Amino acid sequence: MNKLSNSLGAADIATALHPYTNARRHEEKGPLVITRGEGIRVYDEAGKPYIEALAGLWSVAVGFSESRLVEAAHNQMQALPYYHSFAHKAHEPSIRLGEKLVEMTPEGLDRVFFTSSGSEANDTVVKMVWYMNNALGRPEKKKFLARNKGYHGITVASGSLTGLPYNHMDFDLPAIPVTHLTCPHFYRFGHEGESEAEFTKRLLKEAEDTILREGPETIAAFIGEPLMAAGGVMPPPEGYWPGIEELCRKYDILLVSDEVINGFGRLGSSFGATHYGFTPDIMVLSKQLTSSYMPLAAVMFSEKVYDAIADNTGRIGTFGHGFTASGHPVATAVGLENLKIIEERDLMGNAQRMGERLQAGLRQYADHPLVGEVRGAGLIAGLEVVADKATKRPFDPVGKVGLAAFEIAHEEGMIIRNVGDTLALCPPLIVTETDVDEIVACMGRILDRTEAWVAEQGLR
């Protein structure tokens, strides 16, 4: 780790407030300054390599040195570095990417609106849905249903949809009408003696009871990540999504699939909704859309939503929403090239094959004394460490052991993420068999060293 003696580190400590970082701890510890990347690896200032087993922030599909994306950005910078799409303007990269996304995404998602981040995209969803229901003459239909531990971003509206305490506490959120339902994670939220099917049934009943209690005429949309990622890598129980879809249809509630992490092959299927068998009215995409080489997100939506918005000519008539960088030409050019690479190299197929290898490899740690549950789908996985395997009792405080494992991983030359005590893996889609085996072996060393640390600290 870099210390104060390092000038870059010192300047960082002196000036920056880091996102998702304990500021006082950072002042003592300093940053890990990453200087370059190659394939699935990144390198720090001292030249030490790390396997980026979280693909940056769950996002770098094509790895860290894809020259075609550099060229696409360079070429677009030379042709037209910036233009916008307000007031009837357009440019080729955003038109072409929109067309490509309509082609790639599931049936019925025929329209696109671009933003620069997943949070902005979800704020856009909220505002589109509100605008649409005002246009349809049902101004009371504005509430959202979301889930505890769901992640949808951190801006005022998207942060309200997120269901994590540290995104709400001291930020005075939620600030929009949203009800958070039970997190659909059987291992943690299934009741004693309850089967997975019974768990699904209970969650669907909770959703329907909530809709009826609040009044279906007040509920505008249900938003969820098909597989909950940033909240701790939690696949849904069997039958959950088809059941939610049925309720949405029954009560005329829009179904929003937040695929900022799930999209573009992450789960071993093209999209999360495809993977779990449901058809959303709105889909949110980002991260792997450009492999995060450029900031970009897309809200995909149905013609039904589009028409309601487009026909709202009774009042001002103009859709008064959009960002300076909506559909930015360099970002959309990079996105288009990135999607071409994903298709040409069959990276979604690779994610499915390598995903099976990763999941099977990690499942061998289900017997490890530290591991309560190994879970995931495709190239996203979580290992939850617990104090007591039999009772699932977590460590106290939650997150202390996870953080220790995260730091041990750095020493072992691998970057993972700890979500509390769940160790998350989400490697680039380009991983090879050798890479997967290396990640799995490294995870074994991390678990063994963490177990030794737990014993040393007397944490059980």
Binding site for ligand PMP (CB under 6 A): 117-119, 122, 151-153, 225, 229-230, 258, 260-261, 286
The CB-side HSE value for 354 (13 A sphere, CA atoms) comes to 26
We find the least distance from the C-beta atom of residue 427 to ligand PMP, in angstroms, to be 16
Smallest gap from Cβ 116 to ligand PMP, in A, equals 8
Helix (H) or strand (E) holding 384, with range, is strand 380-385
> For residues 447 and 460, what is the distance between their CA atoms, to the nearest angstrom?
15
Q: Supply the Cα-derived Rg of the chain in whole angstroms.
A: 22
DSSP one-letter code for 324: T
Minimum CB separation from ligand PMP for residue 230, in Å? Answer: 5
Q: How far is the CB of 170 from ligand PMP (least distance, A)?
A: 19
* Token pair 């007031």 in the structure block, residue: 87
Tokens of 451: 């177990």
- Cα dist from 98 to 94, 105, 112, 294, 377, whole Å: 6, 11, 6, 16, 28
Beta strands 297-301 and 111-115 are antiparallel
CB of 420 to ligand PMP, least distance (A): 16
The least CB distance from residue 112 to ligand PMP, in Å, is 17
Q: Is the Cβ of residue 260 or residue 387 nearer to ligand PMP in the bound state?
A: 260
Question: Which residue's CB is nearer to ligand PMP, number 229 or number 334?
Answer: 229
Which DSSP letter does residue 234 get? B
The distance of closest approach from Cβ of residue 150 to ligand PMP in the complex, given in angstroms and rounded to an integer, is 8
Q: Sort 127 into a burial class: Cβ within 10 Å, 0-12 / 13-18 / 19+.
A: middle
Smallest CA-to-CA distance from 357 within 291, 263, 439 is with: 439
The pair of three-digit structure tokens given for residue 58, joined into one six-digit string = 């769950």
Strand order across the 417-419 sheet: 371-377, 380-385, 422-425, 417-419
| Tokens 């990690």 found at | 362
DSSP 368: S
Residue type present at position 119: S
Q: Which is nearer to ligand PMP, 91 or 287 (CB)?
A: 287
Q: Which is nearer to ligand PMP, 153 or 237 (CB)?
A: 153
How many other β-carbons are positioned within 10 Å of the β-carbon of residue 46?
9
Cβ proximity to ligand PMP: between 157 and 342 the closer is 157
Which positions ≥6 away from 306 have C-beta within 8 Å? 110, 111
In the complex, the smallest distance separating the C-beta of residue 297 from ligand PMP, rounded to whole angstroms, is: 6
Residue closer to ligand PMP (CB basis): 146 or 370: 146
Report residue 314 as tokens: 């009774």
Considering beta carbons, is residue 173 or 386 the nearer one to ligand PMP? 173
CB closer to ligand PMP, 109 vs 454: 109
- Please classify residue 216 by burial: count the beta carbons closer than 10 Å to its beta carbon, then call 0-12 exposed, 13-18 middle and 19+ buried: middle
Q: 10 Å Cβ neighbour count for 422?
A: 24
Of 39 and 224, nearer to ligand PMP (C-beta) is: 224
Q: How far is the CB of 180 from ligand PMP (least distance, A)?
A: 15
**DSSP structure string for 150-200:** ----SSHHHHHH---HHHHTTTT---S-EEEEPP--HHHHSPTT--HHHHH
CB of 259 to ligand PMP, least distance (A): 7
Q: How far apart are CA 173 and CA 159, in angstroms?
A: 7
Nearer to ligand PMP, 228 or 454 (CB): 228
CB of 287 to ligand PMP, least distance (A): 7
Contact present, 207 and 247 (Cβ < 8 Å):
yes
> In angstroms, what is the minimal distance from the CB of 286 to ligand PMP?
5
Residue closest to ligand PMP (Cβ): 118
Q: Which is nearer to ligand PMP, 226 or 394 (CB)?
A: 226
Length of the chain: 460
Of 117 and 350, which CB lies nearer to ligand PMP in the complex structure?
Answer: 117
